[in-house]
Amino acid sequence: MRERVTFVHPRDAALDPKALSIQQAGLLGPSVESARQDRLTIALDELPLELAGLLQAYQELHLRWSSPLQHDTLEPFSSRLSPGLHVLYTPSKNGAHDSAKLCSFLRALGPLDCMSSEAFTNADTDERGDRGSSYFYQELEDLSALVTSATQDICPELDSICQSRLRSLYTAASLDISFDSATKALKVTAFWPLREQVITVPSSSKRRTEVGILAKDAPPNLEPHELGVSGVLSVLGEQKEPSPSLFAFPSRHRLSDASFSSEFLTPTGLHPTLRLRLSDSKPPVEDAECAPHAYLTLPNTIFADRYQFEDGLFLASKNLTASRYTSLPVDLEAPAYTTKTWGSSVLLELAPPESEGTQVWTAEVPLHLRYLKPSATGYVPIEVPYPAVFWACKSGSDVDFSTNPFDRLHLGYDGLFSPQTTFWHVNPQPETGRRIMSSASVPVLKEEGAAWIGLGTTAVVGLGFAWVLWKLLSAYTASSHRGTKGKAQEQKKKQ
């Protein structure tokens, strides 16, 4: 079992390495503004037998949770996801995958509607080359359910350090749980946003713990696709003093200087429009081919009609270039309460203004509301997570991002681009408060009207059936009358 704890602080933060103390109990330092990432790597044979047996049914399994609260970060922790729980899996070739067992495992994070295999959508893409991959998403406010179950099932009753570290997930901005059959290891990665926090890492004889305290820097001969950092590194239990370090690595995810907000135009109606407002129209790099994109994660209450994005003039009027991807299946007619799939994902290329310099600009995404259950007021509140907005820029063909110790893959949108793409992320900013969720109050049928509509529908169907029956009886009576009259005329001729 291996553990890596990384603190990244701003370059101007005053942190004296002499203030760090490495003791038998762990590393202790001062309080400093920083972002923190903890990564635990557990071999398959170190896991409980039940969990190890579940994971062996998958070639890959990736869980990504992101908080609905806005947070700040620093490079290299640049990647962004829509708030909520994202699940991507590729079953192993032995066909032992069981969606019910997977869902039972996922429900440790909260109440999820994942029991049916039909809840998942197809995640195969041409660029990634996966086959048989499936995707699931659901809004998940926090990790409180996971913390409760984990403190009971994982931590010994008297292990206060274990319980304290699990409780710290209450304030985490993201959590990744990934299994890859090629490495036969489970990686659990938690991230805490930029804030004032104490530099402290406990040590344990059960795992090897590496600690890094870093800041962005510019080593000599830094390449454009690389990110440089400097600071101190230490291995608890093996070193008495932290070692200074300066290094660089290719970075797939970068931070742009721009920000964006997302909101529904009012009145919402049954065909709401989501407006994205971006603070900057200038590409993050000038010597590369870049284009802005928005990757939307839409719950099954709302969807985008992919056929609507085939009209070039319509797209231009919304500052959109094209729809590059829509997950399948997407039922364009079914009400939300009969739709079994979690929802859909849409990748849109945006069309920034061509004027020189920077300027605020907007793009509008036309969406369609599914029929929702009636309510007493005739309105129902819905929330749609902020999309991931980024500039996708082509890097050199010889860039190997796998050498990045902080690289993050399987985010949904990264598999839709070539492996050499660099993503410059635009920082989400809420319209009000801290929630990066677009909310709207949408019209539905009133409950009192639903009863009358049900009675009216029954009456109309009954009247329609009676009319059809009357017409059939009339036709039969007329036919019988003609037949009787014809027979009487034939008999009269014979006489």
DSSP 373-407: --BSSSEEEEEEEPPEEEEEEE--TT--GGG-TT-
pLDDT at 494 over 60: no
Per-residue pLDDT of 343-397, as tens digits, reads 999 999 999 998 766 789 999 999 999 999 998 899 999 999 999 999 999 987 7
Q: How many Å apart are CA 183 and CA 413, to the nearest integer?
A: 23
What's the confidence (pLDDT) of residue 208? 96
Q: Which two tokens stand for residue 132?
A: 């048989």
pLDDT at residue 392, rounded to an integer = 98
Residue spans of the domains in the chain: they are: 2-251, 254-447
> Is residue 448 over pLDDT 70?
no
Joined together, the tokens standing for residue 473 give 């009886």
How far is Cα 189 from Cα 50, in angstroms, rounded to an integer?
Answer: 21
**Nearest partner of 148 among 163, 137, 134, 127, judged by Cα:** 163
Note the pLDDT of residue 482: 61
Contact 88, 297 (CB under 8 A): no
What is the arithmetic mean of pLDDT over 334-348?
94
- Tell me the pLDDT tens digit for each residue of 231-284: 999 999 999 999 999 999 999 999 999 999 999 999 998 999 999 999 999 999
How large is the average pLDDT for residues 205-211? 94
- Rounded to whole angstroms, the Cα distance separating 348 from 363 reads 10
Q: Record the pTM.
A: 0.89
Helix (H, G, I), strand (E, B) or coil at 167: helix
Which residues are paired to 209 by β-bridges?
3
DSSP class per residue in 101-165: HHHHHHGGGS--S-SSGGGSEE---TTT--SS-EEEEE----SHHHHHHHHHHTS-TT-HHHHHH
Rounded Cα distance between 477 and 473, Å, is 6
User: Rounded to 5, what percent of the chain is helix, strand, coil?
Assistant: 25, 40, 40
pLDDT at 447: 74
Task: Specify the pairing of strand 290-299 against strand 388-394.
Answer: antiparallel
How many whole angstroms separate alpha carbon 317 and alpha carbon 189?
Answer: 42
* d(C-alpha 88, C-alpha 90), whole Å: 7
The widest CA-to-CA distance across the chain, in whole angstroms, is: 132
What pLDDT sits at residue 127?
A: 47
Give residue 493's pLDDT.
Answer: 57
Task: Provide the mean pLDDT of the chain.
Answer: 91
- Percent residues over pLDDT 90 in the chain: 75
> What pLDDT is recorded for position 287?
83
pLDDT at res. 428: 98
Instruction: Return the H-helix or E-strand segment holding 291.
Output: strand 290-299
Q: Is the peptide bond before 48 cis (omega within 30 degrees of 0)?
A: no
pLDDT digits (tens, 9 = 90+) for 48-65: 999 999 999 999 999 999
Comparing CA positions, the residue from 147, 203, 237, 245 lying closest to residue 3 is 203
Which residue has 């998942």 as its token pair?
120
Helix (H, G, I), strand (E, B) or coil at 67: coil
> Can you give the pLDDT at residue 104?
94
132-154: average pLDDT = 94
pLDDT of residue 128: 46
- Where on the phi/psi map is residue 272: left (φ > 0), alpha (ψ -120 to 50), or beta? beta
Q: d(Cα 194, Cα 422) in Å, to the nearest integer? A: 23
Q: Which two tokens stand for residue 290?
A: 């870049």
What pLDDT does residue 472 have? 78
pLDDT of 480: 65
Residues 452-489 pLDDT 10s: 555 566 667 777 777 788 777 877 777 666 655 555 56
Where is average pLDDT lowest: 133-142, 425-434, 438-447? 438-447
The larger pLDDT score, comparing residue 446 to residue 297, is at 297
- Sequence-separated (6 or more) residues with CB below 8 Å from residue 197: 31, 32, 33, 34, 36
Structure tokens at 415: 């598999």
- The kind and range of the H/E element at 491 are helix 447-494
Q: CA nearest 50: which of 111, 118, 108?
A: 108
- Does 129 score more than 70 pLDDT? no
pLDDT tens, residue by residue, 302-320: 999 999 999 999 999 999 9
3-state SS assignment for residue 295: strand
Cα dihedral 65, 69, 72, 78 sign: positive
pLDDT score for 124:
72
